[in-house]
């Protein structure tokens, strides 16, 4: 059976956003305010914390409110109604009311900060507040109504209402006998039972909202990761913008190598001796007591560079000396512009003494 193979151009898939976002892309998105954050988590956490606080603080709060009413009807009503007295009474009642609500307000603020910090950490940016006319586009706004995100938000709302409705129905249905007997209860007992039932319902609803908010946060993180995905071309372009074009960088490095070699070759004629291996290594050494206390390597290289060093040395009459172990050791241990280490100084001094002897110079300065 004959098979027909169709040509497939893999470049067609280069634009697909299949790669995870790079750290640079994530940082830029964070600076723009694009973070995974559930708006429901702070409200659910605040509601859950406040209702739990009311379980322990509710009795004290009730007694305090009762005292405020008793004092108002027993003492304040018998006072002479003057502007100063009215201002004093209302100021005191407002202060006591604020003092009574302070723990609730404080806990709500702490819960809001904790919920926000646990999701996105510390982030201060004004980017989301900038004017963007694209947000005022009515066509784009209508299109957002039919996106998958809008459908997910609708499903979340329906799920919340369904679950909360079932919990409320089950709780009230389980207490139906108590509701029937409530008609024979004292008013205080009825009020206490109703308040306790409402608090129980509130805590259950808050716990459900908190669980749903955690799932919503996980979904928001998934959506953010999906939106931040990058294509292979985008990653390559980002790398070029950050690190530079590899082709240009290679040309720059090549030019730097050529310039360094030219400078090195210019120092070869100033050398006193070139120690070779004899063909694979070449190290040019110069000794000037006025500049350094020890001989210095002014050029070194292997293979082709070693050949160029030998050629330049021959053209300018620099003495060449073959010493395989010394040439290898100098090339491995000493960089260009550095002085000879102590462990090689004796061998280099002997070489320089011999060179000076050949040149008719005295070796008295060589230590």
What DSSP line would sit under 108-121, residue for residue?
Answer: HHHHHHHHHHHHH-
Compute how many other C-beta atoms are within 10 angstroms of the C-beta atom of residue 230.
17
Q: Check pLDDT > 60 for residue 11.
A: no
- Tell me the CA distances in angstroms from 11 to 6, 227, 232, one per residue in order: 15, 22, 10
Torsions phi, psi of 230, nearest 5?
Answer: -125, 155
**Percent of the chain residues past pLDDT 90, beyond the cut:** 0
SS3 content of the chain, % helix, strand, coil (to 5): 70, 5, 25
Position with higher pLDDT, 277 vs 77: 277
Q: Check pLDDT > 60 for residue 1.
A: no
Q: For 102-116, 235-249, 274-288, which range has the lowest pLDDT when averaged over its residues?
A: 235-249
Q: Can you identify the CATH homologous superfamily of domain 249-359? A: secretion proteins EscU (3.40.1690.10)
Name the residue with tokens 């009807």.
73
Domain spans of the chain, in order of start: 21-123+136-238, 249-359
Residue 6 is predicted with a pLDDT of 47
- Span 166-171, mean pLDDT? 87
Residue 128 is predicted with a pLDDT of 61
Residue 8 is predicted with a pLDDT of 47
Asked if 41 and 216 touch (Cβ cutoff 8 Å), the reply is yes
- Span 176-180, mean pLDDT? 82
Residue 204 is predicted with a pLDDT of 87
Q: Check pLDDT > 70 for residue 138.
A: no
Give the span between the Cα atoms of 228 and 209, in whole angstroms.
28
Asked if 286 and 295 touch (Cβ cutoff 8 Å), the reply is yes
Give the span between the Cα atoms of 120 and 102, in whole angstroms.
27
CB hemisphere CA count around 363 (13 angstroms): 14
Highest mean pLDDT among 26-35, 68-77, 129-138, 353-362: 26-35
Q: Check pLDDT > 60 for residue 366.
A: no
Pairing verdict, β 281-286 and 319-322: unpaired
Residue 242 is predicted with a pLDDT of 67
Torsions phi, psi of 273, nearest 5?
Answer: -155, 150
Q: Check pLDDT > 70 for residue 339.
A: yes
Compute how many other C-beta atoms are within 10 angstroms of the C-beta atom of residue 111.
21
Name the residue with tokens 């190598």.
257
Its pTM surpasses 0.75: no
Confidence at 55, pLDDT banded by 50, 70, 90:
confident
Give how far the C-alpha of residue 49 lies from the chain's centroid of Cα atoms, to the nearest Å: 30
Give the span between the Cα atoms of 297 and 281, in whole angstroms.
13
**Percent of the chain residues past pLDDT 70, beyond the cut:** 83
């Amino acid at each position: 059976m004959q098979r027909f193979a169709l040509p497939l151009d893999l470049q067609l898939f280069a634009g697909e956003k299949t790669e995870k976002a790079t750290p640079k892309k994530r940082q830029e998105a964070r600076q723009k305010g694009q973070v995974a954050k559930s708006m429901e988590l702070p409200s659910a956490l605040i509601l859950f914390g406040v209702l739990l606080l009311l379980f322990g603080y509710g009795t004290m709060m009730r007694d305090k409110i009762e005292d405020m009413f008793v004092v108002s009807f027993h003492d304040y009503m018998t006072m002479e109604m003057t502007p100063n007295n009215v201002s004093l009474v209302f100021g005191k009642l407002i202060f006591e009311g604020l003092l009574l609500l302070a723990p609730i307000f404080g806990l709500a603020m702490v819960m809001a900060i904790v919920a926000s910090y646990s999701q996105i950490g510390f982030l201060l940016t004004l980017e989301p507040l900038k004017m963007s006319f694209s947000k005022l586009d009515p066509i784009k706004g209508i299109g957002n109504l039919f996106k998958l995100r809008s459908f997910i938000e609708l499903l979340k709302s329906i799920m919340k209402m369904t679950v909360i409705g079932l919990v409320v129905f089950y709780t009230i249905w389980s207490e139906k006998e108590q509701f029937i007997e409530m008609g024979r209860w004292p008013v205080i007992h009825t009020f206490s039972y109703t308040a306790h039932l409402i608090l129980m319902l509130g805590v259950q609803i808050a716990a459900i909202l908190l669980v749903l908010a955690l799932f919503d946060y996980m979904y928001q993180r998934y959506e953010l990761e999906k939106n931040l995905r990058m294509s292979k071309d985008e990653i390559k372009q980002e790398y070029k913008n950050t690190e530079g074009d590899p082709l240009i960088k290679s040309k720059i490095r090549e030019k730097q190598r050529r310039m360094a070699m030219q400078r090195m070759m210019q120092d070869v004629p100033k050398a006193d001796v070139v120690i070779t291996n004899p063909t694979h290594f070449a190290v040019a050494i110069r000794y000037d007591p006025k500049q350094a206390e020890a001989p210095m390597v002014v050029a070194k290289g292997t293979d082709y560079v070693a050949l160029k060093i030998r050629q330049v040395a021959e053209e300018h009459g620099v003495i060449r000396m073959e010493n395989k172990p010394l040439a290898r050791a100098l090339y491995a241990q000493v960089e260009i512009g550095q002085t000879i280490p102590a462990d090689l100084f004796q061998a280099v001094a002997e070489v320089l003494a011999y060179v000076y002897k050949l040149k008719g110079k005295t070796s008295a300065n060589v230590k």
